[in-house]
Structure 1
Amino acid sequence: MERPLFIAVIGENDPTPRLAALAEAVGAEIASAGAVLVCGGLGGAMEAACRGAQSRGGVTIGILPGTRHADANPHVAYAIPTGLGHARNLLVVRSAHAVIAVGGRYGTLSEIAFAKVEGATVIGLETWELRRPGQDELPIQPARDPKEAVALALAAARKRQGH
């Protein structure tokens, strides 16, 4: 049995309408590809991405910071309460084969950092622009649109799946 790819979608709790639309389109593309969407399970970009995935019959997993299943957004199929607060950000990215960041604030930045420590590819849509002094390689691979973001994430995830 072939196991599905897991793609994490990370982003801010209060996105602009444009960022919410991008996150929703990313979720729809992930579901259309047959991959599983993993996120922090709450509102904002996470909810938009889950809504997009659900609209295409996709599977969504929310790794929640609190202890209540009921805290998950209505588009999360499988809620995993952790009681870990922001520390659950490590679990979100560790659960995925690749990560897509849509917008984002400091919580998203922590997830990006955890993903890079874990060796995961991070694809960015209108998110943080980071550069380490003395290094040419960007830690976040930029994408032009949701379709490209998901295609890049899937390619990276396929390489990492056996990891």
Structure 2
Amino acid sequence: MPAIQVAVCGPRDCTQLETAHAAEVGRLLAEAGATVLCGGGTGVMAAVAEGASRAGGLVIGVRPDSDRAGACAGLSAVLYTNMGEARNAILVASADAVIVIGGSWGTLSELALANHRRRIPIVSLRGWRILDAEGRPVPAALPAKDPLEAVTLALDPLPL
């Protein structure tokens, strides 16, 4: 059986804390035997790729373009989709679970696409909080307080 695939989504322009969290999430996923999927660019994507690859993990980048120079280090393989932000649908559809770290508009689209699927675990580590029309929180993702909890929640119901 193939390894569980976990998409890690987050902004290309991220904070130092988001970078540290992403690197730790990547390491923990690799040590758990999961394949890491990411956008293959800068920011959270580069940090998760670095963390996972340093731990000997398999990391697949799903790029929005065909520019080989735009791919980050630490990727085991790259899919050049040349589809722009539509690649977010491919990234999320290929995942058995999604971890969102931080937030940007692209990250919000990935969160929405993951929620549309409804059959996979979605975890948020300092990511988007969604409110309904009356201002009440909508449970779009399981909240995690740290990288270990994020990985645990993402992998909990999944057999490795």
**Which residue of structure 2 lines up, in the alignment, with residue 123 of structure 1?**
123
Comparing 66-75 with 123-132, greater Cα deviation is found at 66-75
Give, in angstroms, the shift of residue 139 of structure 1.
1.3
Q: Does residue 27 in structure 1 map to residue 26 in structure 2?
A: yes
Counterpart secondary structure, 1:73 = coil
Deviations 1:107-135 (A, max 9, x none): 00000000011123210000111133588
Give distance in 2, aligned partners of 1:21 and 1:136. 27
Per the alignment, residue 81 of structure 1 pairs with 80
Asked if the contact 1:7–1:96 (Cα under 8 Å) also holds between the matched residues in 2, the reply is yes
Aligned length: 158
Using structure 2 for the length normalisation, give the TM-score. Answer: 0.92
Partner deviation per Cα, 1:23-61 (whole Å, 9 max, x = no partner): 100000000000000011111000000100011000000
Secondary structure of the corresponding residue to residue 75 of structure 2: coil
Cα contact 1:7–1:36 (8 A) shared by 2: yes
What is the CA RMSD across the aligned residues, in angstroms? Answer: 1.7
Shift, 1:69, TM fit:
3.4
**Cα distance in 2 for residues equivalent to 1:140 and 1:133:** 18
Cα pair distance change 1:14/1:154, threshold 3 Å = same
* Distance (whole Å) between structure 2 residues aligned to residue 12 and residue 140 of structure 1: 17
Aligned position for 1:92: 91
| Correspondence 1:146 to 2:158 | no
Q: State the identity %.
A: 38
Q: 1:79 to 1:137 in 2, by over 3 A?
A: same
Segments of structure 2 that go 5 or more residues without pairing to the other structure are none
Partner of 2:66: 67
CA distance in structure 1 between the partners assigned to 2:157 and 2:83 by the alignment: 28
Q: Which structure 1 segments of 5+ residues have no match? A: none
Query: Equivalents in 1 of 2:40, 2:88: separation in Å?
Result: 11
Tell me how far apart the structure 2 counterparts of residues 137 and 129 of structure 1 sit (CA, whole Å).
Answer: 8
Which residue is 1:101 aligned to? 100
Separation (CA, whole Å) in 1 of partners of 2:50 and 2:64: 20
Please identify, of 66-75 and 51-60, the stretch whose mean Cα deviation from structure 2 is larger.
66-75
Q: Within 2, Cα distance between the matches of 1:67 and 1:155? A: 35
Mean Cα deviation higher: 127-136 or 112-121: 127-136
Give the corresponding residue for 2:53.
54
Assess if the C-alpha contact under 8 Å between 2:121 and 2:153 holds in 1.
no
Instruction: State the one-letter code of the partner of 2:142.
Output: Q
